[in-house]
């Protein structure tokens, strides 16, 4: 049984309850989450009361916009280079559509996971340059692409990086590097994912074109990227998600309409949960098991027949993704059962030669939830480098922990809570031991125990649909604004039965 963490006993200012109104649990939650000020609380609940930060707050953004504007005027061929997760897919789509709308000659490329892995690679980049590309614009990737960007410079090709991943010790020598992590910790734009960074660039481009309102047509894409990348929903990230969910409910993007129809999602009632558990996994299945460039085609097509074909393809890939995830999960549990000492390490590191790399992140998340420790799963096909996906727990920056073992790795990168890496198979035991020491040092003497944070207590008689509607004022929920967990005291368990599997 999980240990309950009792709600904080916080006094709610009378002026907050008077201004916000409704059920006291709403204002109690606002106060517990640091929104005791009336203006801050209103801005949190209603995007009409929030003032977003200007795109020019991002370092190098104006320089990037100037270079893109110049390329459009000169008729240069631009390539948007994205990543294969949904954040990368939506960022690529957003920038391609923006540039086309502004008159650019543009193409796009998202690496195929099975043959190219993450990031900007020299062989494909060389081919693009040979075919006439003179400007490369990355999104959701590129901040660690030193070799590829140096290669482009030697060929006389500029690279503009837009990214949100953790910064390396030295930035690549790109024409411009637009990265939210270059902002101070408390800046409103710092938590934006890749698609959020791309959106701010689009805002600047439309501003320069004298069409400042037109970037809003891409807010449906921004919502998809924010939720699927599990971005912390604070400040501008929350604001864009609120606006984006409303845009997604009324989207006229044909591919999304067909995708929701195929997945049996009623757009009128769409929430962040539909993105996280229905739409996102279908789009992510392309990047995990096939070619994510197809997602950009789906999100940009005006051909109803083609959209239906692609949506059906996503359904099939999603079913395959579920099957493969279950198989890898069972195999991982079997490894632990055969070797329980694996759970005595600070980090859980497992590998297998037959695991498909595309589902390792999903399974790693399930193991983190089960065992409460950072987990890395590594696929080690014969004759190739092992490729791994990492997921972490609060208090452990897994990318920093992996970076501390950098001399053992061929490559790595990621966020505090998730990362990817490549490693020679023979070095995995050594890596496991070293990483576990680093993780143990990060977590210190934190006791590993399952907990449940209680938001408040209510008698069963107080539960109603009206209360549910009141609590929905606090939505959207997610990292930075978790859903409420309510409890009732004084009950006696009479009977129980399992529901579901």
CA distance 417 to 401: 11
* Same domain, yes or no: 299 and 371: no
* Counted domains in the chain: 3
Q: What does the pLDDT read at residue 449?
A: 61
* Same domain, yes or no: 106 and 200: yes
The answer to the question of residue 450 being in a domain is: no
Last residue of a domain, one of 257, 290, 310: 310
Q: Which of 252, 234, 192 is nearest to 61 (CA)?
A: 192
Q: Quick one: average pLDDT of 220-243? A: 98
Tell me the per-residue pLDDT of 446-465, one tens digit each, with 9 for 90 and over.
555 667 889 989 999 989 99
- In the predicted model, is pLDDT for residue 501 greater than 70? no
* Same domain, yes or no: 280 and 294: yes
* Same domain, yes or no: 184 and 296: yes
Q: What does the pLDDT read at residue 500?
A: 62
CA distance 44 to 234: 9
- In the predicted model, is pLDDT for residue 50 greater than 60? yes
Q: What does the pLDDT read at residue 26?
A: 95
- In the predicted model, is pLDDT for residue 4 greater than 90? no
Query: In whole angstroms, what separates CA 10 from the centre of its chain?
Result: 32
Q: Quick one: average pLDDT of 350-373? A: 95
* Helix, strand, coil percentages in the chain from 3-state DSSP, rounded to 5: 55, 15, 35
Q: What does the pLDDT read at residue 10?
A: 86
CA 225, 231, 232, 235 torsion: positive or negative? negative
Helix ranges restricted to H, 75-169 = 86-101, 113-116, 122-130, 146-154
- In the predicted model, is pLDDT for residue 59 greater than 80? yes
- In the predicted model, is pLDDT for residue 394 greater than 70? yes
Domain hosting 30: range is 12-51+470-487
Strand 375-379 relative to strand 386-391, pairing: antiparallel
Strand 451-453 relative to strand 418-423, pairing: unpaired
* Same domain, yes or no: 177 and 36: no
Mean pLDDT of the chain: 95
Question: What backbone torsions phi and psi does residue 282 show, to the nearest 5 degrees?
Answer: -70, -45
Q: What does the pLDDT read at residue 281?
A: 96
Selected residue with higher pLDDT from 8 and 193: 193
The answer to the question of residue 451 being in a domain is: no
* Same domain, yes or no: 245 and 275: yes
The answer to the question of residue 89 being in a domain is: yes
Q: What torsion, rounded to 10 degrees, do the Cα atoms 279, 281, 286, 288 define?
A: 160
Tell me the per-residue pLDDT of 338-360, one tens digit each, with 9 for 90 and over.
999 999 999 999 999 999 999 99
Q: What does the pLDDT read at residue 117?
A: 77
Strand 418-423 relative to strand 386-391, pairing: antiparallel
CA distance 137 to 192: 18
Q: What does the pLDDT read at residue 1?
A: 63
The domain that holds 130 is classified in CATH as: 3.90.1640.30
Q: Quick one: average pLDDT of 93-120? A: 95
CA distance 157 to 458: 62
* Same domain, yes or no: 192 and 131: yes
The answer to the question of residue 201 being in a domain is: yes
Tell me the per-residue pLDDT of 404-446, one tens digit each, with 9 for 90 and over.
999 999 999 888 899 999 999 999 999 999 999 999 999 885 5
* Same domain, yes or no: 37 and 130: no
CA distance 363 to 378: 11
Q: Find the largest Cα–Cα distance for the chain.
A: 76
Q: What torsion, rounded to 10 degrees, do the Cα atoms 283, 233, 94, 259 define?
A: 30
Tell me the per-residue pLDDT of 267-313, one tens digit each, with 9 for 90 and over.
999 999 999 999 999 999 999 999 999 999 999 999 999 999 999 99
The answer to the question of residue 6 being in a domain is: no
The answer to the question of residue 143 being in a domain is: yes
The answer to the question of residue 266 being in a domain is: yes
* Same domain, yes or no: 167 and 293: yes
Q: Quick one: average pLDDT of 49-67? A: 98
Least confident of 95-99, 354-358, 371-375, 449-453: 449-453
* Same domain, yes or no: 187 and 105: yes
* Same domain, yes or no: 41 and 124: no
The answer to the question of residue 4 being in a domain is: no
* Same domain, yes or no: 28 and 96: no
């Amino acid at each position: 049984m999980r240990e309950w963490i009792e709600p904080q006993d916080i006094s709610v200012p009378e002026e907050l309850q008077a201004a916000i109104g409704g059920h006291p649990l709403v204002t109690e939650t606002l106060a517990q989450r640091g929104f005791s000020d009336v203006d801050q609380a209103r801005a949190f609940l209603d995007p009409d009361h929030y003032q977003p930060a200007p795109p020019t707050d991002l370092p190098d953004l104006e320089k990037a916009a100037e270079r893109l504007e110049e390329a459009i005027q000169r008729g240069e061929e631009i390539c948007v280079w994205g990543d294969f997760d949904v954040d990368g897919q939506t960022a690529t789509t957003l920038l391609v559509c923006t540039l086309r709308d502004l008159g650019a000659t543009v193409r796009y490329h998202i690496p195929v996971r099975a043959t190219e892995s993450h990031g900007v690679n020299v062989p494909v980049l060389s081919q693009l340059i040979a075919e006439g590309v003179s400007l490369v614009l990355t999104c959701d990737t590129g901040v660690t692409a030193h070799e590829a960007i140096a290669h482009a410079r030697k060929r006389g090709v500029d690279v503009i990086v837009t990214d949100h991943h953790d910064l390396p010790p030295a930035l690549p020598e790109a024409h411009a590097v637009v990265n939210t992590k270059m902002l101070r910790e408390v800046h409103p734009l710092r938590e934006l994912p890749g698609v959020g960074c791309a959106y701010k660039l689009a805002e600047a481009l439309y501003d320069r074109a004298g069409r400042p309102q037109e970037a809003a047509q891409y807010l449906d894409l921004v919502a998809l990227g924010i939720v699927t990348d599990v971005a912390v929903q604070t400040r501008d990230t929350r604001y864009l998600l609120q606006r984006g969910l409303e845009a997604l409910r009324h989207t006229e993007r044909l591919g999304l309409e067909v995708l929701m129809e195929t997945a049996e999602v009623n757009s009128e009632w769409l929430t962040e949960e539909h993105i996280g558990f229905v739409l996102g996994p279908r789009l992510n299945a392309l990047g995990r098991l096939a070619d994510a460039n197809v997602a950009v085609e789906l999100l940009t097509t005006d051909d109803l027949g083609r959209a239906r074909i692609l949506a059906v393809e996503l359904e099939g890939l999603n079913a395959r993704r579920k099957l493969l995830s279950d198989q890898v999960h069972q195999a991982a549990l079997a490894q632990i059962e055969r070797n329980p000492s694996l759970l005595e390490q600070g980090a859980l590191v497992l590998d297998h030669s037959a695991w498909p790399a595309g589902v390792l992140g999903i399974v790693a998340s399930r193991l983190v939830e089960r065992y409460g420790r950072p987990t890395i799963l590594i696929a080690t096909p014969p004759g190739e480098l092992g490729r791994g996906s990492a997921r972490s727990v609060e208090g452990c920056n897994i990318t920093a922990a992996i970076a501390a073992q950098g001399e053992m790795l061929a490559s790595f990168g990621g966020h505090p809570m998730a990362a990817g890496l490549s490693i020679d198979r023979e070095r995995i035991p050594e890596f496991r031991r070293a990483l576990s020491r680093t993780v143990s040092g990060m977590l210190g003497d934190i006791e590993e125990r399952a907990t449940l944070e209680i938001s408040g207590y209510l008698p069963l008689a107080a539960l109603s649909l009206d209360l549910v509607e009141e609590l929905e004022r606090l939505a959207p929920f997610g990292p930075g604004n978790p859903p409420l967990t309510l409890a009732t005291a004084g009950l006696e368990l009479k009977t129980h039965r399992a529901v579901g599997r």
